[in-house]
Structure 1
Amino acid sequence: MALGTMLALVLACVAAEGFFSGTEMALISLNRHRLAHRVEKGETAARLVAGQFRVPVSLYATTSIGTNLSMVAATAAVTAYLSGTGFAEDADILAVVAVSPLALLFGEIIPKTFYRRWSEKISYVAIFPLMAAQKVLAPVRLVAVWLARRILAAGGVDATYDVGAVTHDEIKHIFASEKKEMDLHPEEQKIIHRIFGLKHVTVEQCLVPLIHLTAVERKEPLSAVKAKFEESKFSRIPVFSERIFNIVGVINAIDVLRYGDDAKIAADLARPAYYVYKNQKVEDLMPQMQRAGVHVAVVVNEYSDAIGIVSMEDLLEEIFGEIQDEYDREQEAPQTGQTDPGKWAADGTVEIDFLNEKYNLGLPKGDYETLAGYILTSIDRIPRKGEVVTIGDFRFVIRDATERGIRSVEMTRSVAGKNG
C-alpha cells in the first residue's frame, strides 16, 4: 500500500471516529427543554433527534460500533502499509502505537469537546449522516441493541426515554444558566428556588401543631360542635377520640349546615381523617392530597399519634410564602417585636435562634427550638396565663396560654443582668 493511500485512509478513519464520538456527545449535551419545544414546532431535524432518545441504546450502539470500526480500519491500514516495509514483523504492534495517539486526540478528546460546545448547532445537522450510518450498520446494530436491551431489562433498567419528560435537575440547570435572560423579579426567583427545595421539606416542618388547634371529642353533642365553629370561625375542625393525639376525623362547617338536623354528636358529622407520616416530603404530599380530594391531612408520628394537621394552604406557603388562612390567628401585635427598650413581645413558636440573631438576646440553646420550649424546659411545667416567670436575665409574662402550652409571651431583660 502506498504511503499516501495509507495516510488518507487513516485520516478518514480518525475523522469518522471523531464524528461518531462527537455526535454522541453533542446529542447527550442537548437541552431537553429546547429539544421538546422544537419538536412541538414540527422541525424535522428535532423530531429525528428526539427519536434517538426514545431508544438511546440504539444511539449508543451506533456510535460505539462506528468508533470501534474506525479504529480497527485505521490500524489495519497502517498494518498493511508497514507489512510492505522493513517493519513487517512488528507491524501490528507499531500500527497500534502509531494510531492510538491520533485516535485518542483527534478521534475522541478534541471532537467531544468541540461538539459539546456547539451541540445546539451541530446536533440538528449531524443527525442526518448519523441516521445514514445507522442504516449501513443495521445488521450489527440490531443484534447489539437486542442483546443490550435483554441485559438491561434483566437489571431492571428501562432502555427507553421520554424526551418530553424534563427532569428536576434539568429544569434547575435551565434556570441557573438562563435566569439572566428570563428577567425574573426577585420574588419570582425566590418562588422558583422554593420549588426546587420542596424535595427537602418534610410535612412536619409546615404543620399546624396540636396546641394551635380547636378540636372536639367525637361524643360531644352537636350544640358543642356548633359553639366551637362559632367561636373559632374555622371551616374545618378535627375530631378526636378520648385524647387529642387520637384524631379520627374532620368536620366541615358546610356539613353542619347540611346534615345538622340528622346528627346528634360530633362523630355523626365527621369525615374520616386522612393520615400522613411526619417525614413525608411536601412535594409528594401535594399531588397525593389533590388525587385524594382532601384539603386537610392529619400528621402522625412513628407511634401513630397525631402531632398536628397540615392543609393545602400550609403546603402552598412553602412555595409562595405566607398565605393567610383560617389557621393563621389574627394577632394585635406582630409575631415578634421590640415594644420598648429592653422589652419584647413574641409568639411562643418563635425560634430561639431567630430571637438571638435579630435582637442579640443571648438566650441559651438546648433540647428545644422555640421560646415556649425554652420556658417549659426551664420551669418543667406549663405556666398559666398572666403568670410571671423569671429565668436568668429575663422576666417573662405569659400573655396567652392553654392547658397544653404557651401561645405568646412578653419578656423583659433585667437591668445589669440581674433577675427581675
Structure 2
Amino acid sequence: MNHKLFWKLCISLGMGCMALVYLIAELSLHVERKMSLIAPEYKAEIRAYQQQAKAYLNDEEALFNWLTNLQTEEQTFATVISIQHSSIGGRIDNNEIAIQAGRNLDYAIHLYHDNPTIHLPLDSNGTVFLFRLPDRMMPGELWPAVHLGMHLALPMIIMMIFSVLLYRHVMAPIRQLEHATQRFSAGDYATRLTPEMRGRDDELGRLATTFDQMASRVGELIQSQRHLIHDLSHELRTPLQRLELCLPTLPAQHESRVRHEVELMRKLTEDTLTLAWMQNETRSSLGDHLDLCTLIEVIADDCCFEFPNHELSLQLPRALCLQHTSERALSQAIENILRNALRYTPVGKRVSVTLHHHLAHCELMIADQGPGVPDDLLGQIFAPFFRVDKARGRSAGGFGLGLALAKRHIESVGGTITAYNAASGGLTVGIELPISNTSCKTCKSTAPNQ
C-alpha cells in the first residue's frame, strides 16, 4: 500500500531535525565569536593605558609607580618589558616577524580559559606593555545564558512552530472530515469530501474517497427507506379504509370483531410508520413554549376518564415553563407512558406522577404499582415491539411500540428517559428535560425544589 503521508512526515521530520542541528551549531558559533570580542569602550581604556605607558618610558620611577597604581586599581597584572631580537641560526627581518608575549587587542577571547594577557607595543625596539585583562573587561558575561537559550529555548520554539505547521497540515483534512460528518448526521446526505480535498493523493485523500463512497451508499439507503415509508403509508392506509367502508355490509355478529381488528391494524400501522419516520429524520424545529404542569394535568384528565377505576396521584409545582420544545412530542410521550402505567396497574391501585424542578433541568417520575419488569429485561423495554410475556402482551392492547415512541419523542426535545423497578414494587419511568433560566411569558416561573 502507498504510504505517502507516512513518508512525507518521516522526510519532513528528518530534514527538519538535520536543519535544526545545523542552524543551532552555526548560530552558536557565530554568536560566540561576536561575544568573544572586547567591548569598544574597554579597548579605548586599554589603548589609553598604552599611551600612558609610552609617556613614562624615559622615567623608570614614574613608570614603576604608575604600573603599581594600575595593578592596584584594576586588580590585575601589568608590566612593561623589552623583547630583544637575537638570532642563533638565521637573520631577523623585523618587518616579517614579531615576537609577542600576549594576545593582540583585536583578537577574540576564549570564553572558557583564564583572563588573557594583552600585548601592546610601545616602540620599534621591542618594548611592549603587557596587561592582563581584568574581570570587568572580560567579554561574554551573558554567554552562559545565551548558550543555554540557543540550545534549549530556541530549538523548543522552532520545534513548536514546526509542530504547529505539521499539525495544521494533518488536521486540516481531519477537520474537514469532522465537519462533513456533522453535516451528514444533520441530514445533508449530499455532503462529499472529495471537492474539498482535491489534490491529496495520500492516506487522508483515500479516507476522503472512502467517506464519499460510504456517504453515497448510506444516503441512497436512507432515501430508499424514506420512499419505502411513504409508499407503505399509502399502501397500508388504502386497504384499511376500504375495509372500514365495507364494515356496514357485514353481519352484525362479525362487524364489531372486524372493526376491532381494523382499528388495531390502523394503530399498529400508524405507530410503526411514526417510529420509522422518527428514526430516519433529524430533530424538528423546537419553537413551542409551554407550561409542563398544565400539559400533564390535561393528559391526566383524559387518562382518568379512560381508567375510572384507577387512582392517579399528581404532585406538581404551581407551574413549570419549558421553552424551545415540542408540545406534540412531549404530549405523545407522556401520554404513552402514563397510559402504559395505568394499563398494567391492577384496579384500585395507584399511579403516581411527580415533577421536580431543578436548576437546569426538570425530572418527571411516573410510578405504577403493577408487576414491574424483570431486571434483566429493563434495558430492552424501549426497543420497538418488545413485550414482556403475558404482563406486556397484546391481550392488554399493546404492540410494544408505546415506550419506543416515547423514547424517540423525549430524545427529539433533548431529554432522556430511564426505567427501573421500585423497591416497593412496580415500574418507575423517569424523564429528564432541559429547562431555560430565562423568563417565560407563557407561564409563571417557579423556584427549584429544595
Q: TM-score, normalised by structure 1?
A: 0.20
Q: TM-score, normalised by structure 2?
A: 0.19
